[in-house]
Each structure stands twice: as structure tokens, then as C-alpha cells.
Structure 1
Amino acid sequence: MGLKHNWLISLVACAGMWGLAVPASHAQALLPHTLEPDFENLEEQGLALAQDAAQLVRFQQYDAALARAKVATQLAPEAYQPWFILGTLEARNENLDQALMALQKAHALAPEEPQVLFTLGSAYFQQGNYEQAIQELKAGLNLKPDSPEALFDIGNAYLKTSEYDSAIASYEKAANLEEGFWPAINNIGLIEYEQGKLNAAVEKWRMAAEIAENATEPKLAIAVALYHQGKRQEAIALGKNALSSDSRYANLEFLEENLWGEKLLADTEDFFASPVMEATLSRLQINAPDQQ
């Protein structure tokens, strides 16, 4: 399970930044809002516009939120909130240079805000700068050590730098802080598989699948491990069931993006190449990995 969806955590933080709740019926009222500049109160108006952007995030109006955030940074350039919202939204859109620029500005204005550091770390991770991601996430965790999402993110960064003990320790802390946080348990299994601990990995994936009954990833991972262990009938039945619920997992590149390691990917390719699984992929109108 990778990190790329975790910008949503930051967007939720954006929406709650001012601690104000806007009823759902007010969502549409925000959309036609037109700014009438009052040059004596530009910063106040900028913060109000940033608040509009944060509330629009709650209703998944991301384009409208981005437009407001951009104007808010111009009206209130010395307030960190508009820069944070802008950076988070740019990271969501994978505009990483713009995201990092805005988030670094937010951090300079509010160096003690852990959520800014967490989001900055996520953006560096998306960029592939894992060492810098670890540095920013560590700094944020020094300020707020009880964030399961940040612990999960730094675990992913440690995984990418092959610091497996640190990764497992971070995942375990995340799972202990938030009951049912199955991605952390799932990723411990990914590491254990690469270390040759097949039974331990399968145990972790079974735990993750029990928590998240509709999650495809742990089911497919179990199927691959069982196939590698020679339990082919059980493996194929589970693999067919997993891919029928989410065919994206038949793509090796997608699995790699979700932090599957070399050994697990090689065994997955063998599993997909079996005649029954090839037929399954064909029925699901999925291109087999060797045809992509």
C-alpha cells in the first residue's frame, strides 16, 4: 500500500484548520462567492478566501478550492494557511514543484505546524526524494508523535530506502495508535516477504484482509504467496476473487507503485503467467503483464 492517496489526510486537515463546521447545505453557497477587494483589509479577505477553499475541499470541489487558494496567497502572503492549502492541492494534482514551493513557504511562516511538515514529507515522497521525506516527517513527528498517518508515511519512506527495521517499527506504532489501520499491517507483510519470511507475511496479510474485507491488495498478496508455496488451487481461487473486485492489481507497475518488492513482483508475474490466471485476466479484459 503506497502513499500517493495520503494527500487526502492533509486536505481534511485543511478543512478543519479554522475549526469551523459548515453545514452541507452551505456547500453550493460557497461556489458563486465573488471577492470584492477592500484594500485596507487584504489579509483578512485572503484568510476568508482560504477558509472558503478549505471548506470547498470538504465537498470535493478541488478546482474551485485551488483557484481560491491561489488568490488567497496573494492577498495574505504572510499567513501560512493559504500556502498550506495551495501546496496540498498542488500535491494532489501531482504538480510537485509548485506544491513544494508553497509548502516550504508555509513551513517558513509556521515552523511549528506538524501538518505542514507531514504534507511536505508526502510531497517529497511523491517526488522520489525519500531521504528528504524522512527528514520532514521526522521533524513533524517530533512535534506530533501520535499521528498514525505520518508514521505510516515515514514507514513507506524507510521501506523505499531499505531501512526495514525502522519501517516495521513505524508501521507497528501506526497500527497500535489506530485500531484497524490495515495498510500498516499489510506493508509489514510486504517487507517480511522480501526477507524470505513467507509464513509471517501471509499472517500479516490475513490480518489485513480480516480488517478490510473488501481490500484487494492483501488477498492478492496471499494468493501469490500460496501459489509460490505450491498451494495452487487455493491460490488461484483467491487470486481470481481478488482481481474481480479491482483489476488494477493485475498491473505489475501498479503493484510496484504500491511498494511491492522485487521478490513479490517476480512471484506475482509467475502467478499471472499460469494458464488459469491468464484465462482469468483475459476474461476480465486485462492485458497480461508480459503484454504491456
Structure 2
Amino acid sequence: MALPLGTVLDGKFKIVQILGEGGMGTVYKVEQVGTNPPYYYAVKELLISPNTPEDERKAAIERFNKEIALLRGLKHPRIAGLNLPFQDRGNYYFAMEFVPGRSLEKVLENSKGSLPEEQVIGWMIQVCEALSYIHSRNPPIILRDLKPGNIMITLDNEVQLIDFGIARRFDPNKRTNTENLGTISYASPEHLGSITMPGQKRSPQNPGKLVQTDARSDIYSLGATMYHLLTNYEPDPIQTPTPGSILAKNPRLRTVQTDGRIVCPVEQVIIKAMQQEPAKRFQSAEAMRVALQSCLPNGVPHTVQIPAIASPNATILVSANPGIGLVCPRCGFQNRPGAKFCKRDGQPLVQGAVVAPPQIRAQASRVPIQARPVQQPIAPRPASSIQARPVRQSIQARPVQPIRARPVSSGIDPNAAYRTGLQHLANKNYAEAVTQFQRALSASGPSYDVLYNLGRAYRQYGLSVRDVDKTLFRNNMKYAAEQFQEATKYKTDALDAFFQLGLCYRDLELPTQATDAFKKALALAPKDPAVYYQLGLLAIEQGANDDAERYLKDGLQFNPDHALILIALGRLYMKKKLPSSAVKALRQATQLDPAIWEGWYELGRAHSQLKEWTMARSALDRARQAAPHISEIYSALAACYLKLNKKSDAKQMVQEALQRDPNNAEANRLKKQL
């Protein structure tokens, strides 16, 4: 039930109007107390009934907090900005910019018919601009509930998107949505969690291909919204309009003659946007904006190709991308195109390598599946004073949720579960890979292959969240280490398990355990340069420089052309104040693999130690070309320019360094000096 008008929330917001009311709460227009002239905000309320089950209550609060987190990081003229969240009377609220005007739902309702084509196109072009912005965030934000009721038209005829209540950050590691929400008339097939082939119906026997909503799902919803605005009919749920059907409902739509036939440009745009298969829609909001622009009477002609109706048995083929580098078969790291060795573990990379099929051995015993910690909802932020104009601050992406094991059903084919797990692992669907490997374990008992790949899935999942949730990263590394340790019990030659175990312990900053694991790997493969490389890195990290040099040189005996070992050796020589030896090793590394920016960067630093500033600048320039995003390269270049008495260039490099990393200590030091 809505609060009475005149109620003051959080001691500063006086309710003056009810803007909207739903099952989970109300949106109010409020006046900030004490402002003259009055300043208005919109306040959204999350109202939870005392009778709501605990799991639903937690889900509602988490969804509400997600909306706050998303809005806090957005700043765009077509998106209402967040002010602050707060709690009052036991309920959750957040205040945001008040957008005076009407929703397109209200505009359509008052019009008693379809809206003018040119006006609709103009509004939808503005919606595309807002979608382009949220889709370009890192990770992309998917609105998931785009519809006429969530598009406001201001008094100046400008568009504002409202209601990010079920928006989500796109997670490439997920196969489907955690929750399938949205308004069915405007929802893409992916909103249901899967898509079926053309001509087929979704059923328990034919659930379709698992998918999750992405930016193209918002494209579908935008097409469905246009359909409603231009015809005054809600679109049929999960249906692509047929050619001519939109024009039949609104004969006033503009048509043009092309190749001897009459076509309706805006109808073509809608049909393409509402294709069942995401790959057949516009692939970005910007592409749809360009197409819409061409639909205006003065627009540049732009042909929209509507995909032909595929047969029910059609198969979607995804071509290989030659611009994607090889994945290391040992640690799973995605390397740059053309790399010969894995950047992370030094493993040689072989084009076309595949994972051998498993030999799953049935065992009487069972490995218990450990529960993972559940992340808590974002706690509401403490209230703070409101400025006349709210300032929005960007925040980091919310951390990925921990993997939860699915209940294991009876009658599982362990080989099928294992193969499915491998497929998910190759596709970076780590949560699903964990589930499938655990199913295989439950059905057949522990075996080396399943335990080893379950460990790999945990480890890759941990690495995928390393930059957003350190706790979740460490927990998954621990689970991975447990699986690799268990795997070593089922194979006498457990080289890969010991190697992965060493990587996990190194990530967990347990150097003694990591060294022990790599030494066990070395005993099994005394000629593997990747093992020597890891032992050398661990020794460097522990300050055991002589041991590090021995390990790295031993690795070079078995592979003299191992660029990563040469770079590590170069770093070690600089640490030991032997810049000439460092230059020799690093020159060899850059000749072997000119695309590794670290080689050029370290070579530039080595020349700097020798006060060879021109050569240092040349090497650092090569590093900058290979990795223009690395702040340290620019600060090193600034130091070179300063030594070469080129202060203007030095200032420019300092500026570039601080743009990429404001906390770059060397750049800040040079800035004061300059």
C-alpha cells in the first residue's frame, strides 16, 4: 500500500505524488525539504510483506541492490541518475532524478491509436543511443525489460530510460539466466532461458538451446516496442512479424519502391530486430540506430536484409575467429594470436590440440561435494546529505556469484556428463562445467580424468573473477587445489595434476606448497621447460636469486628459444644489477617473439640501467605499440625523455601514464619533478 501524501522519508523527502504502484512497492515524486525553489526527486520503494518467504525476501532485496549498483555507475543524458539509497520504516528505498513527462505507455493510451511514424523513429533513435551506452559498459549491462512503460518522454520531447529493476551485467561464463524475468510481449526468446528452431514449439521434450540474454535481447525488445507504438497492438509473444503484417495494421507507414516491389523500411527494421535467433538481428544498438536513421524521409537509403525463414532442421554454424589466440591445454589461459608459448605457464602451444577422451573408472567410493559460500546481498549504503544536483560515481562490476552445485538426479550417464563438462570448459562456461563433472563423479566415483578437469573448472572460474572478488577467487582456488590433490591419488604419472596444483598454490601465495608441487612435476618430467619456468618464477618471488637463475638456465638447456624464460632471466639479471647480461637475454627474447610487450619493456629498463637512453626509448616505443594500455610503459618513456632533455615529450608521457593509472608512483614523482 502506498504511503500517504505528505509523508517525509529519511527526514528529507516529502511525498507529493504517487507516480506508480506495483506488487513490490511504489514510486513516489518527492520534494526535498528546505529547498527553494523546490527540487524534486523520484523515490523507488521496495515493500516486502512480513509474510514473504525468506528466500523470496532475500531475492527481492538482492535484485533491488543490483539496480542500485547498476545505476550508481551510469551517467548518460538519456538515463535517470541515481542519488542515494536509504532505509526508512523497515523498507528499502533509493532516490533518483525526477523525469517530468509521460511514459510511452501513457502517450499510446492517450492517443487512442498508433503514434506518428517519424516521431516514433526519432524517439527510438534516442533509445538506441542509451542502449549503446549501457551495452558498452564493462561488463555490458542488459536492460531486459525495455517496453513503452519504461521509456519516458520529457517535456522537451527527449527520451529517458527508467526502471533498471531486472537489468543485469552480462556474464560470458553463464549459459543461461539466473532468473528469467521481463514482460512477455516484449521479451526475446532468450528471456525464457532457451531458443527453439524455427517452426518448433518449446516443450518439456523440446526445451531448445540454452542461452542467456545479451545486448541483442534488448534489440528484440526495442523492435517489439516499436511494433506496439506503430500499430497500437501488443506484439504476439516470442513471434517474429511476417512481412506486410505491420503495414497491414498501419497503412500510413512510409513505403518505397525497391527492385520493382513496394517495401516498408520501418517494418523491415522491426522484423530484423525481432528475429528469433540473436545472430540474425541487428548485432548492436548502433547498427539499429543507423537503420532507423535511414527510415526517416530525409534519411540516407539503407537496405535492411531480412533473414530468410530457416527450415526447422537448420543448424547454426559459428565460424572460427582467426583473431583469437590459442588456449593453453595445461592452464587454460587465452593467449594472444600467434603465441608459441603460454604467457602464464610457459607451456608450448600447439595448433589444433584436443583433449583426449576420458577413461572413467567406476569406483565404490564417492567424493563428497563441498558447499560453496553464498555471497550476501549488497548492504544498503548509509544515507548522506543531498546536493542540489546529484553526482554519480562509477563503481566496479558486481562480483560473479559462487558456483552452486545442482542436485544430482539418478540414472546419470557419467561419460555423457564428463563430455558435456569438457565442452562447457572449452566454451568458458565454468559453472556448468563444474556441475557436469560433479555429476560424473557422483555417478561413477572418483577417477583421475574427472577430478583433474573438475579442478581445472574450479581454477578457471576463480581466475575469471580474480579482479572483481578476491574472496571468491581464493575459495575457488582452494577447491581446485583439493581436486588436483585428490586426482594425484588415482594416477602414478599425475604430471598435469601436480603442475596445476603448483599453479593454484602460487595463486594462493603459498610458495612452499607450490614449489613442492612443481618439484613433483619435475620428477615426472625432468625435461619440461614449463616446470623450470615456474620454479624460476617462484624462486625470484622468494628472493632466492641463485636458485632462480639455475632453474631458468636449466629450462633453456631443454628449449633455448623459450622467450618467457629469457624475459624472466632478464628481469633476474636486472635485479642482480647485471644490466648487460639482462640486455643480452632480453634482445634474444624480443627477436624470438616481438609481440610480447614485456620483453621490449624490460629491454628498455635494462638499457636505462646502462644509461643508454636512446636505445631505451626505442625499446619502450616497441612496448607501447604492443600494449598501449600499460601505464608503466609511459612512465618509463617519460624518464627516458627527461634524460634526453625533451621535457615536453616527458610531460606528455606522464599525462598518458596517469590517464591509464592515476596511482602510478613513478609518473606522479616525475610530474612533481617536471
Q: TM-score if structure 1 supplies the norm length? A: 0.74
Cα shift at 1:81: 1.6
Q: Which has the higher contact order (CA 8 A, sep 6+)?
A: 1
String of CA shifts for 1:28-48, please: whole Å, max 9, x gaps: xxxxxxxx9664xx5xx3244
Cα shift at 1:190: 0.9
String of CA shifts for 1:186-226, please: whole Å, max 9, x gaps: 11111111111110001111110000011111111111222
Secondary structure of residue in 1 paired with 2:500: helix
Report if the CA contact (8 A) 2:608-2:640 is conserved: no
Whole-angstrom CA distance in 2 between matches of 1:178 and 1:111 = 26
Report if the CA contact (8 A) 2:617-2:637 is conserved: no
Shift in CA distance, 233/92, structure 1 to aligned 2, threshold 3 Å: same
Whole-angstrom CA distance in 2 between matches of 1:272 and 1:58 = 44
String of CA shifts for 1:11-55, please: whole Å, max 9, x gaps: 4999524379xxxxxxxxxxxxxxx9664xx5xx32442233234
Cα shift at 1:103: 1.6
Shift in CA distance, 173/75, structure 1 to aligned 2, threshold 3 Å: farther
- Identify the match of residue 86 of structure 1 among 454, 457, 468: 454
| 2:652 corresponds to 1:279 | yes
Secondary structure of residue in 2 paired with 1:53: helix
- Identify the match of residue 199 of structure 1 among 580, 590, 603: 580
Shift in CA distance, 121/272, structure 1 to aligned 2, threshold 3 Å: farther
The aligned amino acid for 2:661 is N
| 2:433 corresponds to 1:65 | yes
Report if the CA contact (8 A) 1:226-1:234 is conserved: yes
Shift in CA distance, 51/251, structure 1 to aligned 2, threshold 3 Å: farther
User: 2:330 corresponds to which residue?
Assistant: 9
Report if the CA contact (8 A) 1:137-1:150 is conserved: yes
User: 2:530 corresponds to which residue?
Assistant: 149
Whole-angstrom CA distance in 1 between matches of 2:615 and 2:410 = 69
Report if the CA contact (8 A) 1:11-1:57 is conserved: no
| 2:372 corresponds to 1:51 | no
Structural mapping, 1:210-225, within 5 Å: 210-225=591-606
Whole-angstrom CA distance in 2 between matches of 1:82 and 1:11 = 16
Shift in CA distance, 66/163, structure 1 to aligned 2, threshold 3 Å: same
What is the aligned length? 255
The aligned amino acid for 1:176 is Q
Whole-angstrom CA distance in 2 between matches of 1:210 and 1:165 = 26
Specify which structure has the higher proportion of helix: 1
Shift in CA distance, 91/60, structure 1 to aligned 2, threshold 3 Å: closer
Structural mapping, 1:230-245, within 5 Å: 230-245=611-626
String of CA shifts for 1:211-269, please: whole Å, max 9, x gaps: 001111111111122223222233223313312321354249xxxxxxxxxxxxxx959
Structural mapping, 1:72-221, within 5 Å: 72-94=440-462, 95-178=476-559, 180-221=561-602
Report if the CA contact (8 A) 1:243-1:250 is conserved: no
Moved more, 95-104 or 60-69: 60-69
Whole-angstrom CA distance in 2 between matches of 1:154 and 1:75 = 38
Report if the CA contact (8 A) 2:536-2:547 is conserved: yes
Cα shift at 1:287: 2.9
Whole-angstrom CA distance in 2 between matches of 1:63 and 1:16 = 19
The aligned amino acid for 2:422 is A
Whole-angstrom CA distance in 2 between matches of 1:249 and 1:103 = 34
Whole-angstrom CA distance in 2 between matches of 1:250 and 1:38 = 54
Whole-angstrom CA distance in 1 between matches of 2:557 and 2:630 = 28
For structure 2, which runs of at least 5 residues remain unmatched after alignment? 1-326, 334-346, 348-352, 360-407, 463-475, 669-674
Report if the CA contact (8 A) 1:121-1:136 is conserved: yes
Report if the CA contact (8 A) 2:478-2:504 is conserved: no
User: 2:357 corresponds to which residue?
Assistant: 18
Shift in CA distance, 11/227, structure 1 to aligned 2, threshold 3 Å: closer
Report if the CA contact (8 A) 2:533-2:551 is conserved: yes
Give the CA RMSD over aligned residues: 3.4
Report if the CA contact (8 A) 2:498-2:518 is conserved: yes
Identity over aligned residues, as a percent? 14
Whole-angstrom CA distance in 1 between matches of 2:432 and 2:641 = 46
Report if the CA contact (8 A) 2:630-2:660 is conserved: no
String of CA shifts for 1:51-73, please: whole Å, max 9, x gaps: 33234444555454333223323
For structure 1, which runs of at least 5 residues remain unmatched after alignment? 1-5, 21-35, 253-266
Whole-angstrom CA distance in 2 between matches of 1:238 and 1:269 = 10
The aligned amino acid for 1:286 is R
Q: TM-score if structure 2 supplies the norm length? A: 0.34
Shift in CA distance, 222/167, structure 1 to aligned 2, threshold 3 Å: same
The aligned amino acid for 1:67 is T
Report if the CA contact (8 A) 1:15-1:57 is conserved: no
Secondary structure of residue in 1 paired with 2:588: helix
Whole-angstrom CA distance in 2 between matches of 1:134 and 1:230 = 36
The aligned amino acid for 2:450 is P
Report if the CA contact (8 A) 1:152-1:171 is conserved: yes
Cα shift at 1:90: 1.6
Cα shift at 1:91: 1.6
